Chains A and B, each alone.
Chain A
């Protein structure tokens, strides 16, 4: 059962059968484009990428067409990933600020959380093919569906984050309500609600990694061991960044430490992730995704440096570092999202790893 090697290499067919490339495999245009991209990546060097060392793989495809479908999701989803993470980290800072007597940190956190959450929900519903049927998410609870699990996590988290924010905003109520029972109840409910929200918040930040990884999309799936850590790191950096941007330096010590820890975690684990992934890490370095990931690393590293060196002393320094961290987190989420989309559209990231897997299995004799 030996198939004749009618595969088409990335460099093109060594033989002179002009028809063959287009007929059975990767069309010439795609080969040239990709090989060109590779050379460019190598030349842009100085940066020594281990991926450049991966030997060019031969693979066959059906007219170069994708094997997988990329997700139909648009910008809503990476925006949601960011907003959800921001909300989660903010809830943690809010509860901590509340318990340790840092009112400005508490306020920023609670309002950041409810803003992030509200925008997430809008993005999530907007992204549905049938937004009016959003409620169908609540007819089942399925542990095999990260989206179902996420819906229930948000359903649990939302009311408490909302209550904590409402307690923060009770000053806006008309005087009659503020001084009456509703105002008193809100004041009373603020702290426990905030603590419950903070308890659920890490799940909000962490599950989104599983949401992406539990797909056949090569780059997302292969990242599954590391992506949750990248995402909680990114969420912590973003929430810390927001607090540094919006609250006075005197109260943001914990936010700075959370931001710094998150940024370092994100940068370190992201690097480990790319090394562990092999060929499917390539999309993280190419095209739009590559630009976003480079921006993310630069902004996160700069934000972390600013947090460590400046943010404790100057408010503008803190604000600047905070803004860099927020933007870095945005870029991480959009970068990972775009890399996955790109990996699903290129049959190379399906065929090559699966062929390697088959070859390894054959070599192991099973």
Chain B
């Protein structure tokens, strides 16, 4: 608890820094250190071993064989059947002092433009279940043009831009103040002794409230065939491999990561490690490097699974300033109470006032 020593032991249950979310949730005996992930995107190579290992260990069903045309990202988004999601961002800028080795090669429009437009129509429809259905396959076919013998862009003689490829393995953030857990009406979502957030799939009745509550769009209700697909209709997300970490193993994704982009451990220790890493990157000229979610004074009280990013969070599809919705809940209840009292008073007035009739 080094970084949190100055805090009042209990903190506030709805927002702000919290010394120990597990303790706040009632785990007072036999305290365990808070566990989490530090995902260092600067060393991610986009191999997707984490996606595969997660599926294998947790027996997460198929999330569709889709071609999304967004670089190498074909799993689309985190969801009920995608608990690790590797994002790929192609940018015309350099990564630190690295040379992309592209100088002198032909320049021109990216061949993937047309594919991006196709995936766009598939992705911005009513598909909130991205990656859990095959509907993407229903997008209309698009003309890719006649094959030609000329290299793309060779004719216009333009200069090559710089190029860098950002990759990020996204995951449930295991927030200090988790809105999904707060709003769950059955208690299916709970805080574990390790400070993580887990769904009890045999309790969840699929009300879906956690889905819009999550400020990161992580959790979703699993779509599938009734009685066939495991946990169909039930909210699902990363458990930080609750069944592994209880036995002293590291989560499947971290175990499988070949570059240690995904690091598992005690959150306090990971925060220190992350700070050292970001300092080292700055020193070596990667000034874009910044930590995301490590600050316990942010709107969700800090993340149990936080990141080192090389660009603004929204470039990676992450909210720049997430706030747990239940922070405003006391104010909401007050307003609703006022409105309800007003309605009752109004009803009394309409009967008391006026003549008969």
Contact = CB atoms under 8 A, between A and B. Distances in A.
Contact of B357 (A207, A221, A250): A250
A30 B124 contact: yes
B311 interface: yes
A216 B353 contact: no
Interface stretch (B28-36, B107-115, B240-248, B266-274): B107-115
Given A206-B337, A210-B332, A228-B335, A4 B183 contact: no
Given A23-B91, A145-B183, A129 B234 contact: yes
Most A CB atoms within 10 A — which of B90, B314, B348, B353? B314
B285 interface: no
Nearest to A211: B209
B239 interface: no
B213 A232 contact: no
Nearest to A253: B357
B206 A129 contact: yes
A210 B333 contact: yes
A27 B120 contact: yes
A240 B235 CA distance: 39
Interface stretch (B1-9, B38-46, B98-106, B318-326): B318-326
Contacts of A207: 336, 340
A129 B185 CA distance: 14
B131 to A, nearest CB: 11
A221 to B, nearest CB: 6
Nearest to B14: A144
A242 to B, nearest CB: 14
A72 B211 contact: yes
B335 A224 contact: yes
B68 to A, nearest CB: 8
A257 B356 CA distance: 12
A147 B183 contact: yes
Nearest to B310: A3
B208 A129 contact: yes
Contacts of B315: 6, 24-25, 60-62
Contacts of B87: 62
A246 interface: no
Contacts of A59: 314
A347 B325 contact: no
A60 B320 CA distance: 10
Interface string A258-281: 100110000000000000000000
A108 interface: no
Nearest to B235: A129
B290 A1 contact: yes
Contacts of B321: 354-355, 357-358
Contacts of B206: 128-130, 133
**Interface residue SS majority, chain A:** helix
B70 interface: yes
A254 B109 CA distance: 69
A63 B122 CA distance: 12
Given A224-B335, A231-B339, A354-B320, A215 B212 contact: yes
A30 B356 CA distance: 59
Contacts, number: 332
A129 B233 contact: yes
A135 B113 CA distance: 50
B183 A355 contact: no
B258 interface: no
A60 B332 CA distance: 31
Interface stretch (B52-60, B133-141, B143-151, B216-224): B216-224
A351 B117 contact: no
Contacts of B289: 1
B62 interface: no
B123 interface: yes
B171 to A, nearest CB: 15
Given A215-B212, A257-B353, A129 B205 contact: yes
A214 B329 contact: yes
Contacts of B331: 224-225
B234 A257 contact: no
A267 B181 CA distance: 35
A60 B312 contact: yes
B182 interface: yes
A198 B347 contact: yes
B157 interface: no
A231 B347 CA distance: 15
A203 interface: yes
Contacts of B322: 216, 354
A299 interface: no
Contacts of B123: 63-65
A133 B205 contact: yes
Contacts of A131: 205
Interface in A199-257: 199, 201-203, 205-207, 209-210, 213-217, 220-221, 224-226, 228-229, 231-232, 235-236, 249-251, 253-255, 257
Given A29-B117, A140-B186, 4 more contacts: A69-B79, A137-B185, A139-B187, A142-B182
**Sorted from nearest, which 6 A-B pairs have the closest CB atoms?**
A129-B206, A129-B233, A62-B317, A133-B205, A19-B110, A228-B339
30 contacts: A3-B311, A6-B93, A19-B90, A19-B110, A23-B90, A23-B110, A24-B89, A30-B120, A30-B124, A63-B73, A63-B120, A64-B123, A67-B319, A96-B351, A100-B351, A128-B233, A129-B234, A131-B205, A139-B187, A140-B186, A145-B185, A147-B207, A205-B343, A221-B325, A228-B340, A229-B335, A251-B357, A254-B351, A258-B346, A347-B314
